[in-house]
Copies of this chain bind each other. A is one copy, B any other.
Amino acid sequence: MKCLEKGLVAWLTGLPGSGKTTIAGRVAERLRAEGYRVELIDGDWARKTVSVGSGFTREERMNHLRRIAWITRLLARNGVVVLASFVSPYRDARKMIREIVEEEALFLEVYVKASLETVIRRDPKGLYKKALAGEIKHMTGIDDPYESPENPWLVIDTDKASVEESVNLLYSRLKTILNELPVVCEG
């Protein structure tokens, strides 16, 4: 196991169905196999554990994302490579998250880009179908805005890149950073 002095937070933002968690999951596997401590956290996990009872008003979403930011910060400052996969559609929320994390660790914003057409076609959780039928509200991309990152560290365009290519891209970009981080010990 590689014991890093500090880890980092790679924050994947993008529309539901853009491929964030799929990509993060495969990258996490590879990094773990190399001995890094890695945590992948995403919205589905959070809603069952640290954000039970948290609703979807603007205030509740901000509290939810502030919480996640703090959790990733705590992990990263203890040497964990954190892959956080959250729609996180608002620029000001992502700014808040960055400010929290950057006080103690590296924050890398990864924009997982996909057209609305693509994510509606994929619709892995059937949410777009429901939103288009008016059965659910505040669906990002339908009746709630997605504010795309203005200056992300990395853009992964999953309209064009395959899963394999997307994973390779994030993995290799992360590795160039990870290789520069101080390693406390390796055992």
Contact = CB atoms under 8 A, between A and B. Distances in A.
B52 A185 contact: no
Interface stretch (A66-74, A123-131, A169-177): A66-74
Nearest to A182: B187
A52 B184 CA distance: 34
A74 B185 contact: no
Contact of A186 (B1, B5, B67, B185): B185
Kindly state the interface size class of chain A when it binds its partner. Answer: 20 to 34
B67 A184 contact: no
A135 interface: no
A67 B1 CA distance: 28
A79 interface: yes
Contacts of A63: 52-54
- Count copies of this chain in the complex: 2
A70 B39 CA distance: 13
A159 B186 CA distance: 45
B59 A53 contact: yes
A60 B63 CA distance: 14
A49 interface: yes
Given A49-B66, A50-B50, A185-B186, 15 more contacts: A1-B184, A1-B185, A3-B3, A3-B79, A37-B78, A37-B79, A39-B78, A52-B67, A53-B59, A54-B63, A75-B75, A75-B78, A78-B78, A183-B187, A185-B187
Interface of A: 1, 3, 5, 37, 39, 49-54, 59-60, 63, 66-67, 70-71, 74-75, 78-80, 183-187
